[in-house]
Structure 1
């Protein structure tokens, strides 16, 4: 495993999730994230491996790699790293996009009179009004991917847009920040307990706490090559631990079968 040394002058940043804080650093053009609640780094790496077996292009998702982290005080920790995908573009989260236009996603997401589909459509209408982008298929595919990996942290600051200040143009950022998935939070999902029990405890975001209801928003084509994915999992010893076990369990879920290419069959 690659070891990355955090220089003394590197500024420790705090990445805030729905579960708390995670330490990260920028060293050169790399972002390094330290595990804080379990095996977030393994989950990140495995999530990007899944997407490498999909119809998405490499620029459509962030690739994460495992690493050891040598801290300035000599402590060795573990986590993952990725390369900065922003370049000179400005990042604007979904939440900040709404705030910049003097509104809030809460007005839609917390409206109990709206169905999941209605919340989604109203949010997407606003996004299209603010940016000119129709990203309905991309976002519903993201939600379907979240259902597969049981991502419990797809809040409105984990859906990102990139703005080009010169061209005054917008685009959806690549899929990133999948660390709180595959039951990586060992504080909330203790090792040793049956997966069937733990999986029932995971809640989705942002349109509904039910993964199945968010999954139903995706009506696009299958986008993951299950056979390729299984072959990669068998051929590479990447030390995924329980993350791999959770994924294999998910691949057996009939409700997710339409996400995989026709003819991709998984057997115990």
Structure 2
């Protein structure tokens, strides 16, 4: 595991999630994140490992790596790091995109008269109107991935777009920030309790609290090489802790069979 020393001049950035704050630092071109509620770093690394065994090109997701963090005062902790993907592009979250156009996603997401699919379509149409991008398949695939890893933090500030002010063009940012997945929050999902019970407690975001209803939005081609992923997990020297158990349980759930490329789901 790599050790990253946080320079005294590095500014601690408090990143806010639906579960509270997490400390992170920008060190050169790296973003370093500290575990706060459990094993977010291990979950982040394992989630990105899933994506490296998918059909997505590398530019479409962020790779995370485990690390030990050494603070200027000598305090040590565990976390993960990634490389900055933004370059000179401007970050605009889904929520800020709506706000910049003098509206809010709340009126759609909180409308109980709308089905999950109707909420999804209305939000996606608004995004297309604002940016010219049709990201329906990309976001539906993201939600299917979230269901597989039990990501409970895909709120509207965790779906990101990048704006090029020179070319005045938009693009969907790579998949990032998957730390609150795989039951990594040990404060809410206590170690030692059966996974079957804990998994039922996890709620999805943003279109429905049900993972199954959100991942049903994805009806395109399978995109995960399951068998290759299993082989990599088993040969990895990284201690993923409970995150590994949770992912293996999810990979063996028949509900996700349509996500796995034919022939990659054998030898269960």
Task: Calculate the TM-score normalised by the size of structure 1.
Answer: 0.99
Distance in 1 (CA, whole Å) between partners of 2:267 and 2:205 is 30
Deviation at 1:265, TM superposition (A): 2.5
1:171-210 superposed matches below 5 A: 171-210=171-210
Distance in 2 (CA, whole Å) between partners of 1:10 and 1:237 is 30
Match of 1:131 in 2: 131
Alignment check: 8 A CA contact 1:204 1:211 kept? yes
Distance in 2 (CA, whole Å) between partners of 1:26 and 1:233 is 29
Match of 1:9 in 2: 9
Tell me the alpha carbon deviations over residues 54-80 of structure 1, each in whole angstroms, 9 at most, x when there is no partner: 000111000000000000111001100
Contiguous gaps of at least 5 residues in structure 1: none
Distance in 2 (CA, whole Å) between partners of 1:10 and 1:133 is 36
- SS of structure 1 residue aligned to 2:147: helix
Match of 2:50 in 1: 50
Match of 1:260 in 2: 260
Match of 2:232 in 1: 232
Distance in 1 (CA, whole Å) between partners of 2:117 and 2:133 is 19
Alignment check: 8 A CA contact 1:147 1:212 kept? yes
- SS of structure 1 residue aligned to 2:32: strand
Distance in 1 (CA, whole Å) between partners of 2:266 and 2:82 is 30
1:1-268 superposed matches below 5 A: 1-267=1-267
| Runs of 4+ residues deviating >3 angstroms | none
RMSD of Structure 2 on Structure 1 (CA)? 0.7
Deviation at 1:266, TM superposition (A): 4.8
Alignment check: 8 A CA contact 1:252 1:266 kept? no
- SS of structure 1 residue aligned to 2:240: coil
Aligned length: 268
- SS of structure 2 residue aligned to 1:69: strand
Deviation at 1:29, TM superposition (A): 0.4
Contiguous gaps of at least 5 residues in structure 2: none
Tell me the alpha carbon deviations over residues 108-154 of structure 1, each in whole angstroms, 9 at most, x when there is no partner: 00000100000000000000000000000000000000000000000
Distance in 2 (CA, whole Å) between partners of 1:82 and 1:90 is 18
Deviation at 1:234, TM superposition (A): 1.3
Task: Calculate the TM-score normalised by the size of structure 2.
Answer: 0.99
Distance in 1 (CA, whole Å) between partners of 2:136 and 2:106 is 19
- SS of structure 1 residue aligned to 2:256: helix
